[in-house]
Chain A
Amino acid sequence: MNCSTNTPAKRRYMWRLAVTGLLYILFLVLAVWVFVHHHPTGPLAWLLALLPALAIIGQIAAFGLYLAEEKDEFQVAIGVQSMLWGIGGTLAVTVVWGFLESFVHLRHLNLILVYPLFCILCGIVSGLLHLRYR
Protein backbone atom coordinates (compact mmCIF):
# COMPACT_ATOMS: atom_id res chain seq x y z
CA MET A 1 0.00 0.00 0.00
CA ASN A 2 1.10 3.49 -0.71
CA CYS A 3 -0.37 6.82 0.25
CA SER A 4 2.09 9.11 -1.48
CA THR A 5 1.71 10.16 -5.12
CA ASN A 6 4.62 7.82 -5.90
CA THR A 7 2.45 4.80 -6.73
CA PRO A 8 3.91 1.45 -7.92
CA ALA A 9 2.73 2.23 -11.47
CA LYS A 10 4.44 5.63 -11.32
CA ARG A 11 7.66 4.05 -10.09
CA ARG A 12 7.58 1.59 -13.03
CA TYR A 13 6.89 4.52 -15.37
CA MET A 14 9.86 6.48 -14.02
CA TRP A 15 12.10 3.44 -14.48
CA ARG A 16 10.91 2.95 -18.09
CA LEU A 17 11.36 6.66 -18.70
CA ALA A 18 14.95 6.48 -17.43
CA VAL A 19 15.73 3.43 -19.60
CA THR A 20 14.25 4.95 -22.78
CA GLY A 21 15.93 8.29 -21.98
CA LEU A 22 19.29 6.52 -21.66
CA LEU A 23 18.65 4.63 -24.92
CA TYR A 24 17.80 7.95 -26.60
CA ILE A 25 21.13 9.48 -25.56
CA LEU A 26 23.07 6.35 -26.59
CA PHE A 27 21.31 6.10 -29.99
CA LEU A 28 21.74 9.82 -30.64
CA VAL A 29 25.45 9.78 -29.81
CA LEU A 30 25.90 6.64 -31.93
CA ALA A 31 24.00 8.12 -34.90
CA VAL A 32 25.90 11.43 -34.78
CA TRP A 33 29.27 9.66 -34.42
CA VAL A 34 28.64 7.28 -37.34
CA PHE A 35 27.28 10.06 -39.58
CA VAL A 36 30.23 12.35 -38.81
CA HIS A 37 32.97 9.70 -39.19
CA HIS A 38 31.60 7.21 -41.74
CA HIS A 39 28.95 9.09 -43.78
CA PRO A 40 26.61 6.09 -44.10
CA THR A 41 24.09 5.83 -46.94
CA GLY A 42 21.14 3.63 -47.85
CA PRO A 43 19.35 1.40 -45.31
CA LEU A 44 22.06 1.86 -42.65
CA ALA A 45 21.61 5.65 -42.77
CA TRP A 46 17.84 5.21 -42.42
CA LEU A 47 18.25 2.81 -39.50
CA LEU A 48 20.69 5.08 -37.67
CA ALA A 49 18.46 8.11 -38.22
CA LEU A 50 15.45 6.22 -36.85
CA LEU A 51 17.13 4.80 -33.71
CA PRO A 52 16.74 7.94 -31.53
CA ALA A 53 13.13 8.26 -32.73
CA LEU A 54 12.43 4.67 -31.64
CA ALA A 55 13.60 5.55 -28.12
CA ILE A 56 11.19 8.50 -28.07
CA ILE A 57 8.36 6.25 -29.29
CA GLY A 58 9.32 4.01 -26.36
CA GLN A 59 8.82 6.95 -23.99
CA ILE A 60 5.37 7.62 -25.45
CA ALA A 61 4.51 3.92 -25.05
CA ALA A 62 5.78 4.05 -21.45
CA PHE A 63 3.31 6.84 -20.69
CA GLY A 64 0.50 4.84 -22.31
CA LEU A 65 1.44 1.83 -20.14
CA TYR A 66 1.46 4.05 -17.06
CA LEU A 67 -2.09 5.24 -17.77
CA ALA A 68 -3.18 1.61 -18.28
CA GLU A 69 -1.46 0.30 -15.12
CA GLU A 70 -2.17 3.15 -12.66
CA LYS A 71 -4.78 2.00 -10.11
CA ASP A 72 -5.24 5.48 -8.60
CA GLU A 73 -7.93 7.02 -10.81
CA PHE A 74 -7.15 10.56 -9.67
CA GLN A 75 -3.51 10.18 -10.76
CA VAL A 76 -4.77 8.87 -14.12
CA ALA A 77 -7.01 11.95 -14.42
CA ILE A 78 -4.02 14.23 -13.76
CA GLY A 79 -1.93 12.32 -16.31
CA VAL A 80 -4.65 12.54 -18.96
CA GLN A 81 -5.25 16.26 -18.28
CA SER A 82 -1.51 16.98 -18.52
CA MET A 83 -1.29 15.05 -21.79
CA LEU A 84 -4.31 16.81 -23.30
CA TRP A 85 -2.95 20.25 -22.38
CA GLY A 86 0.45 19.19 -23.71
CA ILE A 87 -1.05 18.04 -27.03
CA GLY A 88 -3.23 21.15 -27.32
CA GLY A 89 -0.35 23.49 -26.49
CA THR A 90 2.00 21.72 -28.91
CA LEU A 91 -0.56 21.86 -31.72
CA ALA A 92 -1.21 25.55 -31.03
CA VAL A 93 2.48 26.49 -30.98
CA THR A 94 3.36 24.45 -34.09
CA VAL A 95 0.39 25.67 -36.16
CA VAL A 96 1.14 29.31 -35.26
CA TRP A 97 4.83 28.73 -36.03
CA GLY A 98 3.90 27.04 -39.34
CA PHE A 99 1.86 30.01 -40.55
CA LEU A 100 4.51 32.49 -39.41
CA GLU A 101 7.15 30.40 -41.18
CA SER A 102 5.07 30.34 -44.39
CA PHE A 103 4.03 33.99 -44.49
CA VAL A 104 6.65 36.04 -42.65
CA HIS A 105 9.60 33.66 -43.15
CA LEU A 106 10.19 32.96 -39.48
CA ARG A 107 13.12 30.61 -38.87
CA HIS A 108 12.32 26.95 -39.73
CA LEU A 109 11.19 24.88 -36.75
CA ASN A 110 12.95 21.51 -36.73
CA LEU A 111 10.35 18.79 -36.11
CA ILE A 112 12.75 17.12 -33.67
CA LEU A 113 11.81 19.94 -31.27
CA VAL A 114 8.10 19.04 -31.23
CA TYR A 115 8.46 16.20 -28.71
CA PRO A 116 10.57 18.20 -26.21
CA LEU A 117 8.02 21.03 -26.52
CA PHE A 118 5.22 18.55 -25.73
CA CYS A 119 7.18 17.20 -22.72
CA ILE A 120 7.86 20.70 -21.37
CA LEU A 121 4.18 21.69 -21.67
CA CYS A 122 3.05 18.41 -20.05
CA GLY A 123 5.53 18.94 -17.22
CA ILE A 124 4.38 22.50 -16.57
CA VAL A 125 0.70 21.51 -16.53
CA SER A 126 1.37 18.43 -14.38
CA GLY A 127 3.23 20.62 -11.86
CA LEU A 128 0.40 23.15 -11.76
CA LEU A 129 -2.23 20.40 -11.32
CA HIS A 130 -0.25 18.81 -8.48
CA LEU A 131 -0.02 22.24 -6.81
CA ARG A 132 -3.77 22.72 -7.23
CA TYR A 133 -4.67 19.36 -5.69
CA ARG A 134 -1.91 18.99 -3.11
Chain B
Amino acid sequence: MKNRLRVLRAERDWSQADLAQRLEVSRQSVNAIETGKFDPSLPLAFKLARLFETTIEAIFTDESQG
Protein backbone atom coordinates (compact mmCIF):
# COMPACT_ATOMS: atom_id res chain seq x y z
CA MET B 1 0.00 0.00 0.00
CA LYS B 2 1.36 3.43 -0.98
CA ASN B 3 1.63 6.05 1.72
CA ARG B 4 2.80 9.61 2.42
CA LEU B 5 4.64 8.85 5.63
CA ARG B 6 8.02 10.00 4.33
CA VAL B 7 6.55 13.37 3.26
CA LEU B 8 4.61 13.83 6.50
CA ARG B 9 7.73 13.01 8.48
CA ALA B 10 9.85 15.41 6.44
CA GLU B 11 7.32 18.23 7.00
CA ARG B 12 7.87 17.83 10.75
CA ASP B 13 11.58 17.14 10.44
CA TRP B 14 11.18 13.79 12.18
CA SER B 15 13.51 10.87 11.63
CA GLN B 16 12.16 7.31 11.39
CA ALA B 17 13.38 6.82 14.96
CA ASP B 18 11.45 9.92 16.12
CA LEU B 19 8.25 8.61 14.55
CA ALA B 20 8.88 5.13 15.96
CA GLN B 21 9.25 6.60 19.44
CA ARG B 22 5.99 8.53 19.10
CA LEU B 23 4.17 5.41 17.85
CA GLU B 24 5.86 3.17 20.45
CA VAL B 25 7.06 0.73 17.80
CA SER B 26 10.49 -0.18 16.44
CA ARG B 27 12.25 1.95 13.80
CA GLN B 28 12.29 -1.17 11.66
CA SER B 29 8.48 -1.18 11.77
CA VAL B 30 8.29 2.44 10.61
CA ASN B 31 10.71 1.68 7.77
CA ALA B 32 8.69 -1.38 6.69
CA ILE B 33 5.43 0.61 6.66
CA GLU B 34 7.01 3.61 4.93
CA THR B 35 8.49 1.48 2.13
CA GLY B 36 5.17 -0.32 1.63
CA LYS B 37 6.56 -3.69 2.69
CA PHE B 38 4.21 -3.96 5.65
CA ASP B 39 0.62 -2.75 5.96
CA PRO B 40 -0.24 -1.55 9.47
CA SER B 41 -3.31 -2.74 11.35
CA LEU B 42 -6.32 -0.44 11.61
CA PRO B 43 -5.45 0.65 15.21
CA LEU B 44 -1.90 1.58 14.15
CA ALA B 45 -3.22 3.39 11.06
CA PHE B 46 -5.57 5.41 13.30
CA LYS B 47 -2.67 6.16 15.63
CA LEU B 48 -0.67 7.48 12.65
CA ALA B 49 -3.63 9.57 11.50
CA ARG B 50 -4.08 11.09 14.98
CA LEU B 51 -0.36 11.79 15.25
CA PHE B 52 -0.27 13.63 11.91
CA GLU B 53 -3.68 15.24 12.60
CA THR B 54 -5.18 13.95 9.39
CA THR B 55 -7.24 11.01 8.10
CA ILE B 56 -6.12 7.49 7.25
CA GLU B 57 -7.09 8.10 3.61
CA ALA B 58 -4.79 11.14 3.51
CA ILE B 59 -1.86 8.93 4.52
CA PHE B 60 -2.55 5.65 2.73
CA THR B 61 -3.63 5.04 -0.84
CA ASP B 62 -5.36 1.85 -1.89
CA GLU B 63 -3.46 0.89 -5.05
CA SER B 64 -6.19 -1.52 -6.18
CA GLN B 65 -8.52 1.45 -6.72
CA GLY B 66 -7.85 3.46 -9.86
Binding site for B on A (CB under 8 A): 1-5, 7, 71-75, 77, 130, 132-134
Contacts and interface: CB of A to CB of B under 8 A. Distances in A.
Interface string B19-39: 011001111110111000110
SS class, residues of chain B in contact with chain A: helix
Interface in B32-56: 32-33, 37-38, 40-41, 44
Given A71-B25, A75-B28, 7 more contacts: A3-B26, A72-B29, A73-B41, A73-B44, A74-B32, A133-B38, A134-B31
Nearest to A4: B26
Given A73-B44, A74-B25, A3 B17 contact: yes
Interface of B: 17, 20-21, 24-29, 31-33, 37-38, 40-41, 44
Nearest to A133: B32
A3 B33 contact: no
Residue in A1, A3, A5 whose Cβ sees the most chain B Cβ within 10 Å: A3
Nearest to B43: A73
